[in-house]
Each structure stands twice: as structure tokens, then as C-alpha cells.
Structure 1
Amino acid sequence: MLGLMINEIEQKEIEYLLKREMEELLLDLSDSRIDHIVKRAMEERYQILYNLFRRFVSEKESLKYIPPKRKHK
């Protein structure tokens, strides 16, 4: 386990970067031109980012970014 000491400004910046990256992934996941194998990797990345995001924000805020359900084909 690792520890991290950051100030409030750095915390807000990390939150912003995580939100932006997750929103970008959600947008790309809705693109039908992207292969399902690539989308699976993107879903895994989203899950990692979401778990990290949950450590920085309240439960209410994290609910807005709950990972989408997988669609099996």
C-alpha cells in the first residue's frame, strides 16, 4: 500500500483529470466504429480510474460516474 500527501488544490486537479478521462472513455465506448476488444480494454481502464476517483470524492459524487454495464455479444 502506498500513501500520498497532497494539498486541496492538487486534489481538485486530480479529480478534474479523472473526470475528464472517464468522460472521454464513456464517449469513446459509445462509438460503434471501435472494435469490441478495444472497448473491453477501455472498460477495464474506466474501472481502474473510477476506483481511484472514489478515493478522492464523496459517495454522492462517485455515483455520477458508476461504470456502465457491459453488453455481451
Structure 2
Amino acid sequence: MLGMLFSDKECKELDYVLRKELDEMLLDMSDTRLDQDIRHAIANRYKTIFRMYARFAPSKELSKYARRARFPQARE
């Protein structure tokens, strides 16, 4: 396990970056034009980023990014 020390400013910046990344991935996972395999890869990455964000985010903020359902299936 690695440990890192961040200043308050750096923590706020990391929080911002992770939230924006989560927002982008949620948008991409809802895009039915993307191939199912690509959306699955994005979903796996989302889990990793979400766990990183969950380490320091308040529960109220965290609930905004908790996935409620699987991403939509591609229509053929």
C-alpha cells in the first residue's frame, strides 16, 4: 500500500479531478453509440476511480456517484 500526503489545496484539486472523471465516465456509459465492450471497460475503470473518490468524499457527495443500475445495453 502506498501513502501520500496532500495539502488542503491539493485535496480539493484531486476531489475536483475525480468528480469530473466520474461525470465523464457516467456520460460515456450511457452513450448507446459506444460498443458494449468499450462501455464495459469504462465501467471497470469507473469502479476503480469511484473507490479512490470514496476514500475521502463525504457520504452525501458519494451517493451522487453510486451507480444504481447497469449501463444500457447496445441496441442492434
Change (3 A) 1:4 1:24: same
Change (3 A) 1:16 1:72: closer
Across the aligned residues of Structure 1 and Structure 2, the Cα RMSD in angstroms comes to 1.5
Question: Which consecutive residues of structure 1, in runs of 5 or more, have no partner in the other structure?
Answer: none
Which residue of structure 2 aligns with residue 5 of structure 1? 5
Q: Is structure 2 residue 37 aligned with structure 1 residue 37?
A: yes
Deviates more, 1:10-19 or 1:52-61: 52-61
Partners of 1:64 and 1:71 in 2: CA distance: 16
Partners of 1:38 and 1:27 in 2: CA distance: 13
Which digits, 9 at most, give the CA deviation of each residue in 1:27-46, with x for residues without a partner? 11111110000000000000
Normalising by structure 2, we get a TM-score of: 0.87
Using the aligned pairs only, state the percent identity: 37
Partners of 1:13 and 1:49 in 2: CA distance: 15
* Alpha carbons 2:18, 2:53 under 8 Å: kept: yes
Which digits, 9 at most, give the CA deviation of each residue in 1:10-68, with x for residues without a partner? 00000000000110011111111100000000000001000000112112211111034
Which residue of structure 2 aligns with residue 21 of structure 1? 21
The 5 A counterparts of 1:46-65 are 46-65=46-65
Question: Which consecutive residues of structure 2, in runs of 5 or more, have no partner in the other structure?
Answer: none
